[in-house]
Structure 1
């Protein structure tokens, strides 16, 4: 096996650590293998879209989700470091409203599986970061939703160094108590 799958405090969220082969020339690792991913995570789903973002230190993106055409996301950082956050927004879940935060970086090469039913966001903690997402459904702007990053009910412990830079749509995000969520 070329990956190890670690459990998190939210059972559906999987932290994936690849086996990295390094020597004086540099390194090599298999960043995705559909067969191995399905075997080790129990998730056998096609990925239909790849996204790549670059952000400066202090940029906070999220907490995003699509209320219809819910997306599963396999995320990783290829330059820099982020504090990645997922929130369970499935009303029927025993973990409804709970969050998990994990550092992803180019150095640790970790990936995070975020299944449908979770809001997702990240804060850039390095000078800049490049972030990759593999998604299980396409982006539908009409169905995109945002929960405000500093919602008091969620009480996410972001490792902030000052006030984050957020997009207007994220600043206008809904409070968790008013957000459209999954059944």
Structure 2
């Protein structure tokens, strides 16, 4: 399948999966803004700036429960996946929320699978008990990706957000880590 290369990177037919760096942040923000503008997959309702996302990005580290990975093809970032705090309460210290987003041209090419493989491999041995994900509906591709990685349905928050003039429901899923 893929081969490991340097410092947590993997290579798959020219696509490199590696830990995200601050140099990747402008492209990550671009993917976030495109997704926010063109879908309900994220609840952002206005474009965000790189400066606004710097504090969020500083949560990620090479070790620990909060990680971010990017998929690159040459100098182009195709997508990212990350784990982040689920809630700020100490009681949730072993729970992380996972997010993934791909450049529109990178979808349906297995890149999400590559990103999640690297992300979940990186969590081995970290103090993470459960990974959760909220998926705005409808999003069959994201649901299928999460099920592929062992996520199971927890429940649906019905019509709990409003974006583009419509109510949005989200399926919440979880996966326990060994």
Q: Please identify which structure carries the higher strand content.
A: 1
Which category of TM-score, normalised to the shorter sequence, fits these structures? Answer: 0.3 to 0.5
TM-score normalised by structure 2 residue count: 0.33
TM-score normalised by structure 1 residue count: 0.32
Considering Cα pairs closer than 8 Å and 6+ residues apart, tell me whether 1 or 2 has the greater RCO.
Answer: 1
Q: Please identify which structure carries the higher helix content.
A: 2
